[in-house]
Structures are given as structure tokens and as C-alpha cells.
Chain A
Amino acid sequence: MSDAVDLLIIGAGPAGMAAALAAAPSGARIALLDDNPLPGGQIWRDGPHAELPPKAREMRARLDACANVRRHAGCKVIALAGPKRLLLEDAERGWLLAYDKLILCTGARELLLPFPGWTLPGVTGAGGLQALIKGGLPVDGERLVIAGSGPLLLASAATAKARGARLGRIAEQASLGAVGRFASALWAWPNKAWQALELFDATYRTGSHVLAALGSERLEGVRLQVGKRVEEIACERLACGFGLVPNTQIGEALGCALSDGAIRVDAWQASSLADHYAAGECTGFGGSELALAEGAIAGHAAVGMLAEARALWPQRQRWQGFADHLNRAFALDPALRRLAQPDTLVCRCEDVPLSAIGGRRGWTEAKLSSRCGMGACQGRVCGSAAQFLFGWQPPAPRPPFSPARISTLAKLADAAESQAPDLSSARTPG
């Protein structure tokens, strides 16, 4: 027997939580699932070193009070199991869940680019470091350098400083002109201007980027290009993030059309596939306010509350303006394509160096000749990097979407009337 709901929401960040709250008054049976142990997504990630804002706590409390919203934490989507049915897995079990409507709120991940030394312990993503610290990673007294692009660098720095890290430098690749234009237009979104002022740090430099992480067994320092100078800074931690990449994997596998690498949606947040909606950063980067507005529109629309959905259009438009402004300011400098050297590992799962894939004509050829992208992350790190480095189209998602237990995969056999997905790559290497 398979389990069924009226509305399934994948991702419990701001967009997914807003979608569930917007749809709940309809009385529909709703399931909200997320692969993290606690709800909140990226910005409201909870943990021993996290301080949740009142808005997040209020939304969590309201969700707790909705008897028709089931929450599945620590739960991943493993495969499609026939029309409107998914194979899921959590720590205890694998099971099939059928749905009538689906809202994808899968958010975004960081763009991580290869540079010499980036595999050394001590090097993390920028948002990655923030997430690890919220989960209890100690950084007290550690020297830290943050590099990459976008406002996430400042947010990550603020979290690390609050936990006692000593910040040596924030290196933003965008030019002073671009960042200046961004900052001077913030008056249109006053709360964002306040946030920027609060987060600003004296070590912040524009037109700067990482050249190499230094060290043998673990990180000992970093070499940076700071304007026209090369600077070396001793540090125990380096956090690098180059912007965000929408998580489109599940949407793509279902058959939702993409545009500009994000799930394409209409004014109701409906995707190209009937009964399938998408909201938040899987439809393009925009920050939590936009994710909340989009999530609520999708939630209302999915249960037929069209007037309520339409009432939120102006709010979405306002925050979309902010998102467009942000994305223009932090466009990546093509010089970052030259950071990786021939011996720099591009694929960290299979340890494939740049020299083994540079010069190939595309992703498929690189993969067949080198195993690049065939490891446990399934190309979610190196595929996005190769898209920036070489302009290659990232690999099409294949099940299992996450490494899964054999006992879970066996459940696909229960999906009798569905076509069995290709499981030739079902066991991912340890």
C-alpha cells in the first residue's frame, strides 16, 4: 500500500513553509518534506549556534498547529515511481508517496569553484561555513578568510564573528563600481539597506578573489588577489562561495521546463507541467522575502485560492526587483575561470584533475573518459563548476537522486504499474 496526500511540498525553507501555511486553510492533506533534520531551509537553519528570527519561530509555531500538515524531516527524494508518485527515504525507512499536486521549494546551493588547494580540510563553502557553525562547529579563536561573491559572504562573516572567529579578509570578486551601484540603490528596500549596514566589515575588499589555499595536510593560509596586489594570509579556515545555483534536479527529472538554469514558472508559480508548482530559489535567486511571497502564492494557487494568490503579486514584484538588482551587481568575473590549474581536482568525488577534462567537447565526453561527475554527489558540485568553466550543460539528473539503501530501492518493485526507472547507477560508490 502506498501513502497518499493532496499536496506534497518538497523543501521546508521559507518558500516551503509559506506554501504549506497558505494551503493549509483549504483542509487539504499536506506533506512537507525536507532533507534537513530541522525546518527552516538555508536562512533559518536551526541548531545549537543558531538564533532564529521571530518570523521563523512564528511560522514554525503556526505549522505545528496545522493538523492537516504532516512534516517529514531528514527525508530525501530518491526516485520517481510512476505518475505523481515518489520514492522517499529517511533514517528509518524507504516508502512510496502519491500526491495530487506538488510544489517544489528545493531552494539553491552554493556555486563552489575549484582552485588550487580547495580540497584541503579547513576549506568550506561560504554559506557552507555558516551552516556548519549553526550546527555547532566550533570556530572560536580561529583565523578566517572569506572569499567569493554576493551578500552571503557578509552573512557568513557575521555568523563566524559572533562565534569568536577572527576575520582576516572578505574578498568580493565584484568590482567596487558594481558593489557601489548595488549599495546606492538599496534605499528602495530599506530593510535590506539596514541589513547591509549591520553586516558590513572593515576587512571587506572588492575586485578581489582567492588564488590558492595553502597547506599540506590541512589549511595553513590563503593566497589572494586583492585589487592589483597578491596577499598571503595565515588562517585555519577559508570559506569560498561564488553565488547560488538553483536546485532543479527533482523538477527536471519530473519534466518541468527550465529557463536560465531555474525552474520556469508563470504568475501562479505553476511550472510547465500540470499540477506541479515551484517557488523560492529553485526558480531563481531572490532572497527570503521573495521566497516567502512566491511560496504563499504557490500554496494558495495549488488549492484553488486564486484571489488570495493574486493579492500577493505586488509583494512578489517588489522583491523580484531587489533580486534582479542583486544578480546584476554580483555577476562573476570571467577571470575566475582560470583559477584551477592542470593538477587541481575538479571532481572531488572521483579525484579528477582539470587536465583530465579540459579540452573535452562536453560533459558526456568528459564523464566517459574520466569518471568526472560519476561519484556520490552526482555532479552537483563539479557539474555546476564545469558549466561556469567551460559552458557545458550540466548532466541530466538520474535516479537515485541521492545515494539510497538497497532496501529502499527494492520498494520500487512495489510500484507495480509504474515503469521501473533505470537503476544501473543505483549503487553509488562509498
Chain B
Amino acid sequence: MPELLLDGRPLRVADGTSVAAALALGGDGCARTSVSGQRRAPLCGMGICQECRVSIDGVRRLACQTLCRDGMRVETRP
């Protein structure tokens, strides 16, 4: 059961949980804000649309193709 930090708040999730799922488990499910200011959440679930991009340990990654790991720091884009 990894515990990660989602926007600074601790969140414990089941093994094998994707970061995309963690966004909904520990927040409002959104990953980023679009160029015109709309909040966006994962769309395709499979690495195509790039709507789920977040910062993970300081590196931009796709939430839907990344598994939660203990100690991971995930920042959504306000």
C-alpha cells in the first residue's frame, strides 16, 4: 500500500493504483488547467490525449501511465 503526497496531502492507495486514479481518490480528479483556464481530467486513459499530465517528483509525466509508488510527490497544475 504505497503512500504518496498529492498536492502536499498524504494519500494511501492500493498496490498497482495509477496516478490518474489517485487524482480522483485524493482530490477532484483533475490533472491540469488548459490554456484558456478550464480544469481538465484524464480522458483517454491510455497515454494518447495528454490531458492527465502532472508533475511527479518534479518531472512531467502522464498520470494514466504511471503507477503510484511510496514517497512519490504528485503535483497537479493549478
Contact = CB atoms under 8 A, between A and B. Distances in A.
Contacts of A46: 16
Contacts of A375: 50
Contact of A131 (B17, B30, B64): B64
A136 B16 contact: yes
Contacts of A405: 59
A219 B74 CA distance: 24
Task: Determine which residue in A127, A135, A380 has the highest number of CB atoms from chain B within 10 A of its CB, and name it.
Answer: A135
A110 B45 CA distance: 10
Nearest to A135: B18
Given A46-B16, A121-B39, A131-B64, A377 B45 contact: no
A138 B21 CA distance: 7
Given A37-B65, A121-B29, A381 B44 contact: yes
A320 interface: no
Interface string A362-380: 0000000000000111001
A112 B43 contact: yes
Given A122-B41, A128-B45, 19 more contacts: A37-B67, A48-B14, A48-B15, A124-B42, A125-B45, A128-B46, A131-B64, A135-B16, A135-B20, A135-B21, A137-B18, A218-B28, A218-B39, A351-B34, A380-B48, A381-B44, A403-B50, A405-B59, A430-B77
A37 to B, nearest CB: 5
Given A35-B65, A123-B43, A350-B35, A136 B50 contact: no
A129 interface: yes
B5 interface: no
Interface in A25-67: 35-38, 42, 46-48
Interface string B34-78: 111011111111111111010000011100111100000000010
Nearest to B31: A121
A74 interface: yes
A129 B45 contact: yes
A183 interface: no
Given A381-B49, A405-B59, A135 B64 contact: yes
Interface string A143-158: 0000000000000000
B22 interface: yes
A163 B68 CA distance: 20
A131 B62 CA distance: 14
Interface of B: 13-18, 20-22, 24-25, 28-30, 34-36, 38-51, 53, 59-61, 64-67, 77
Contacts of A416: none
Task: Determine which residue in B47, B48, B59, B60 has the highest number of CB atoms from chain A within 10 A of its CB, and name it.
Answer: B48
Interface string A232-274: 0000000000000000000000000000000000000000000
Contacts of B28: 121, 218
Contacts of B34: 119, 348, 351
A37 B42 contact: no
Contacts of A47: 16-18
SS class of chain A's interface: helix, strand, loop or mixed?
loop
Given A112-B43, A132-B20, A135-B20, A351 B35 contact: yes
Leading 5 A-B pairs by shortest Cβ distance: A135-B18, A131-B45, A136-B21, A136-B17, A128-B45
A42 B51 CA distance: 19
A46 B14 CA distance: 13
A110 B22 contact: no
Contacts of B25: 136, 138
Task: Determine which residue in A123, A137, A138 has the highest number of CB atoms from chain B within 10 A of its CB, and name it.
Answer: A137
B66 A37 contact: yes
A42 to B, nearest CB: 7
Contact of B43 (A35, A37, A124, A136): A124
Nearest to B56: A91
Contacts of B51: 348
Contacts of A48: 14-17, 21
Contacts of B41: 121-122, 124
Interface string A387-420: 0000000000000000101000000000000000
Nearest to B47: A35
A143 to B, nearest CB: 15
Nearest to A349: B50
A3 interface: no
